[in-house]
Amino acid sequence: MTMSEADAANELMRLARQIAHHDRLYHAQDAPEISDAEYDALVRRNAELEAAFPHLIREDSPSRKVGHEVVASPLGKVTHEVRMMSLDNAFSDEEVEEFVARVRRFLALLPDADVVMTAEDKIDGLSCSLRYENGRLVRAATRGDGQVGEDVTANVAHIRDIPQVLAGDAPAVFEIRGEVYMAKADFAALNAAQEEKGEKLFANPRNAAAGSLRQKDASVTASRPLRFLAHGWGAASAVPGETQFAVMQQIAAWGVPVSPLLVRCGSVAAMVEHFGAIGTQRPGLPYDIDGVVYKVDRLDWQERLGFVAKAPRWGLARKFPAERAETVIEAIDIQVGRTGKLTPVGRLRPVLVGGVTVTNVTLHNRDEIGRLGLRVGDRIVLQRAGDVIPQVVDNLTREEPREAYQFADHCPECQSEAVAEEGEVDVRCTGGLICPAQRVERLRHFVSRGALDIEGLGEKTIRRLFELKLVRNPAEIFRLNRKRQQLMQLGKDVETSVSNLLAAIKRSRQPDAARLLFGLGIRHVGEVTSRELMKAFVTPDRLRNVVELANGSGVRAETAKRGIVGRSARRPLIERHVPSRQVLAKTRRSLRHPIVTRFLRLKAAKAKQIAAQAELSSIDGIGSVVIGSLSEFFHEQHNVAVWEELLSEVSPPPYIIDVKESEVAGKTVVFTGKLESMSRDEAKAQAESLGARVAGSVSARTDLVVAGPGAGSKIKQAQELGISVITEDQWLQIVSTAK
């Protein structure tokens, strides 16, 4: 059955929150709840839905993020000069073949052109960047969120694989990147020692390596047997080679270990063969691996291919197949989200899958439970890899005579009726803002890191403020300075905490407009969508005005004022109220005639409505689902009240994005016709790197059209609208002169 937009949007929202939760546990706390393969499954499902529904891609989408933001760390922060990216994943030979074909298309190569790739084993460790200046190690940092990592310079000094001084001549600046890991034998010995001392055991070698490297006390790191393997580089004043393979050989010559399994492959067949060979050797390798990494060998091609949101176009990680395990569902709990969605979660008899203990599994929705015939007590097959979702793949005791599971028809939090809207599979609480779970979840979302990010307002504090009736809606957060005495009820000796909290709230009174919009929790309006909306409308008031115009508020107001509504339901609104020819003939000389005035006002209001709808629809990534959500939000008076009350407390500055210095920065560009020196994808990437927005069609908002041979109607449209049209060569001149 084809998935609806509403279903896809709901699942993307769930996946974004679930993946963010696991990112925080994995990257920030070194305490994952699920295996890498289970995590890959979530990410893969997210990618499939985004490919099918690109207009629903959320601002907080996992496809736009790398790692996790560094927070509350005893270590210092380091901003990476060159962002540390992650890699897209593949799970089949066909996906590897498509990756190579995609590279050929982007570079406009012939279908049979040779594309040489490097291939190496993908170590399951902690990413680390080593900055050498004049051959001497000056700083080491973890990946963090890709932009900012943790300073672990003192700690890596104790890793024997990492030289303090490179052997031979090295560039003035060169950052070597790779994985800090712990060998399997060393991990077993460490856990044996931990057990003997009665201390907590590590779940797997990766967690042990991460926990050991991210120690405030470097002597703890020194006591742990950590290793390092390089797989690439970051900032460099000079690159010692023209290919990936050549540079990696030079890194090895400097005394930094690289994978002994690194090879060059001249064909897809060779890439697939090496994947199989590494898979065969996997059990006997001294370290854990979870796949094979492919990279385009030529560095000039890497530069042309560039990056997407969080990954290079020139790299791919091919993951190993699924692992499965059997366990028992001991309970099914219902969780209520901020949108009222009731999500069933299976509590499992703990089962070890690939070195990770799994205790919970998301069962998605009522239909999924029915499809699998799941009940408490059933024995299930749990798959933890990336090619199938949900994670429960089979029910081994489906046929046992046991009463079917009855999905909740009332909210477990507020006892309001829980129903599924027509066309939706998700069951939602109808309690709305009277439901404490929804109100608390919405407040948590409002102050979360992706929204206003108010320090000191964590889950426990928000819940306690709600229980004390100090905060029931977002605006009341900004009135807490008037309730200092009541805040002292949060605990003992909280004077400093309260002062810090009020100071953090005060700093948030001029929030980023896109974060503020995202924080309101409007369905289907994620972080990316919020930014795109605010880029287009600059201020929240302008957004509201356009949405209300698109809703037809002006038309409704005019018809209601004139007493027109309800006279006819058979013809379109404007047609119903067009004066007859006879009336118009009698009133040609007097435009002040009431009938003519009424018609002109109604026509003007309708024109504004159509223009507003077109303006919303013209924004990249804003489809009918998002527009519908915005319309519903501003149609509800209680939402408008929340909006107005909040904006009476905060003053978001106009949302103006800093862009790169180029003559097309901030402009909208349309490419049309056949481009001869590059693919359309490469041209789009160039435009975006210059701060321009690329649109697929010409409109009044288009600033520039780049036309290649065969361009047709778009050139005519541009000429009619007075929009500049340039050639591909002229475009390349703009690119080459940009700073």
- Kindly state the tokens that stand for 245: 């393979």
Distances (CA, A) of 582 to 57, 68, 573, 576, 595: 54, 71, 20, 16, 12
- The rounded distance, in Å, linking the Cα atoms of 279 and 479 is 60
User: What's at 283, amino acid-wise?
Assistant: P
The three-state DSSP-derived secondary structure of 113-154 is CCCCEEEEEEECCEEEEEEEECCEEEEEEECCCCCEEEECHH
The three-state DSSP-derived secondary structure of 445-512 is HHCCCCCCCCCCCCHHHHHHHHHCCCCCCHHHHCCHHHCHHHHHHHCCCCHHHHHHHHHHHHHCCCCC
Distances (CA, A) of 469 to 459, 477, 519: 15, 11, 21
Sole residue written with tokens 């385009």: 296
- The rounded distance, in Å, linking the Cα atoms of 488 and 498 is 7
Residue 445: CB atoms within 10 A of its CB come to 21
- Burial letters for 347-373: b for 16+ Cβ neighbours within 10 Å, e otherwise? ebeebebbbbebeebbbbbbebbeebe
Give the strand pairing for 342-353 and 324-336: antiparallel
- The rounded distance, in Å, linking the Cα atoms of 383 and 439 is 34
DSSP per-residue letters across 3-17: PPHHHHHHHHHHHHH
From the list 174, 139, 132, the residue with the least C-alpha distance to 153 is 139
Residue 598 carries which DSSP code?
A: H
Query: Residue 622: enclosing H or E segment and its boundaries?
Result: none
- The rounded distance, in Å, linking the Cα atoms of 466 and 479 is 14
- The rounded distance, in Å, linking the Cα atoms of 674 and 483 is 65
The question of whether 608 is a catalytic residue gets the answer: no
The catalytically annotated residue of 122, 295, 341, 606 is 122
Write the Ramachandran bin of 185: left for phi over 0, alpha for psi from -120 to 50, otherwise beta.
Answer: alpha
**Residues 359, 26, 13, CA angle at the centre, nearest 5°?**
75
Q: Residues 6 or more apart from 431 whose CB is under 8 A from it? A: 340, 411, 413, 414, 416, 438
**Residues 519, 615, 679, CA angle at the centre, nearest 5°?**
90
Query: Could you give the 3-state DSSP secondary structure of residue 352?
Result: strand
- The rounded distance, in Å, linking the Cα atoms of 375 and 373 is 7
Write the Ramachandran bin of 482: left for phi over 0, alpha for psi from -120 to 50, otherwise beta.
Answer: alpha
Q: Tell me the angle at which helices 637-647 and 540-550 cross, rounded to the nearest 10 degrees.
A: 160
Active site residues: 122
